[in-house]
Amino acid sequence: MSGEQVTIEDTGRYLSRLLDKKIDVVGIKRAAVGWSDDVYMISGADELGQPLELVARVTREASAYPLVAEPRKHFETLRALQETQVPGPIALAFDESSSLFGAPTIVMRRSNGVAPIPWSPEGSAFLRRARTGVEGRQFAAVVAAVHNVDATAVGLRDLLADVEQEHPRGELAGMVRVYGEVANVFRSPIVEDALHWLDQEVPANLSPGLAHGDYRPSNILFDGSGLSVLLDWELAQFADPHYDLAWAMSPFNRTVPGTVADIVDVTTFREVYESECVTRIDESLLHYFTVYVHVRQAMIFASALQGAVKESMKDLRMTRAAAALSRTEALILESLSG
């Protein structure tokens, strides 16, 4: 059964079996269509009549690099995070081949809050208020909490580390592969130069640990008291913390100069992060990973462009994203010169 055909009755029976308790469902709606997942909001009550708000995250075929669909790994990451101080989603169950949705499904408790969309009027207004509120400082403190996690102790090192090549070499090899695959739609001397530089300049002083992989405000829920939940862990890596910091601090994620992702000024972000984290910000590592995340972004857009050309991609957001390649090349050139 496909997601478009699910009924309240079918959903109730499905969840009762999956969660091993009686669930009465009163409502279900598809709330979001991501690049690799569909999200369904489910309302109901448990066997005691207590209200129950759930989310079903249904994995589709990944639409572009680096979105490799590994839903079981995503679920196990969320479960491991429940043993830490990081405010992640509460994952309840995983179904490899869902009889309801027809694809791998993670069932989670629904979290309170709203994720700000930076280019929307509401998101822009929220981020403007956050810069003088608690949310900006929380944004820095939570990424510090991620980087403070003992990944080995909670099993995340074994789950996330590349067994063949340590990060960044493993992912860098993937970027080189993707660049070769998109040769029919995208060639760039700037990207080629950057790939060579990244390969030659891999730092010797890396300190790998848990990294979120896509740390920015649009992947965070905020409620009335501030930062509520850090979402979207499917790109989590066992990597140096500067991998996250470089992406959060990238000009790609801000419209307001002097800020980190429009939510906090740079000085405050650095001060809070270093006061909360065991890691000190190393400018040479930050420079390396700034080049790195911009090249990674170029590969995302190039693979999106290739998908659009092949008409294999029906997600118009990815087609629009391909138009940002020229800006990404400019950021690569700027960061290489930094």
**pLDDT at 2 > cutoff 60:** no
Provide the CB-side half-sphere exposure for 129 (13 A, CA): 9
Do 192 and 81 lie in a common domain?
no
What are the residues facing 29 on neighbouring strands?
41
Residues 78/91, Cβ–Cβ less than 8 Å: yes
Do 283 and 197 lie in a common domain?
yes
Question: What is the rounded end-to-end Cα distance, in angstroms, of the chain?
Answer: 52
Residue 114 per-residue DSSP state = B
How far, in Å, CA of 143 to CA of 218, rounded? 14
| Kind of pairing between the strands at 105-109 and 220-223 | unpaired
For residue 3, being part of any structural domain is answered with no
What are the residues facing 239 on neighbouring strands?
209
Do 220 and 324 lie in a common domain?
yes
Do 27 and 61 lie in a common domain?
yes
Last residue of a domain, one of 71, 86, 109: 109
Low-confidence winner among 29-33, 66-70, 259-263, 271-275 (lowest mean pLDDT): 66-70
Do 328 and 304 lie in a common domain?
yes
Beta strands in 129-191 (DSSP E): none
Beta strands in the chain (DSSP E): 24-33, 37-45, 51-59, 91-95, 105-109, 209-211, 220-223, 226-230, 237-239, 259-260, 264-265
Q: How many CB atoms lie within 10 A of CB 230?
A: 22
Do 45 and 147 lie in a common domain?
no
pLDDT of residue 263: 98
Low-confidence winner among 95-104, 200-209, 247-256 (lowest mean pLDDT): 95-104
Instruction: Kindly indicate the confidence band of residue 67, based on its pLDDT and cuts at 50, 70 and 90.
Output: low
How far, in Å, CA of 132 to CA of 109, rounded? 30
What does the pLDDT look like over 300-324, one tens digit per residue?
A: 888 888 877 776 556 666 666 667 8
Residues 27/5, Cβ–Cβ less than 8 Å: no
What contacts 89, CB < 8 A, 6 or more positions away? 55, 78, 108, 109, 111, 229, 231
Do 255 and 168 lie in a common domain?
yes
| Kind of pairing between the strands at 220-223 and 226-230 | antiparallel
Q: What angle do CA 18, 19, 25 make, to 5 degrees?
A: 90
Number of domains, the chain: 2
Last residue of a domain, one of 109, 144, 179: 109
Do 193 and 294 lie in a common domain?
yes
| CATH number, residue 19 | 3.30.200.20
As a whole number of Å, the CA-based R_g of the chain is 20
Residue type, 308: A
For residue 285, being part of any structural domain is answered with yes
Tokens of 287: 């420079």
| Kind of pairing between the strands at 105-109 and 226-230 | unpaired
Do 134 and 93 lie in a common domain?
no
Do 266 and 322 lie in a common domain?
yes
* Burial zone of 141 (CB within 10 Å; 0-12 exposed, 13-18 middle, 19+ buried): middle
**pLDDT at 74 > cutoff 90:** yes
Mean pLDDT confidence for 72-77: 96
Do 104 and 127 lie in a common domain?
no
How far, in Å, CA of 245 to CA of 140, rounded? 10
pLDDT of residue 312: 57
What contacts 80, CB < 8 A, 6 or more positions away? 154, 155, 156, 159
Percent of the chain at pLDDT > 90 equals 79
pLDDT of residue 65: 65
For residue 169, being part of any structural domain is answered with yes
**pLDDT at 163 > cutoff 80:** no
Residue 114: closest CA among 254, 217, 261, 244? 217
What does the pLDDT look like over 233-259, one tens digit per residue?
A: 999 999 999 999 999 999 999 999 999
Residues 109/93, Cβ–Cβ less than 8 Å: no
How far, in Å, CA of 130 to CA of 309, rounded? 40
pLDDT of residue 314: 60
The pTM assigned to this predicted structure is 0.94
Do 256 and 208 lie in a common domain?
yes
Domain boundaries, position 95: 8-109
Low-confidence winner among 165-174, 209-218, 241-250, 282-291 (lowest mean pLDDT): 165-174
Last residue of a domain, one of 52, 86, 109: 109
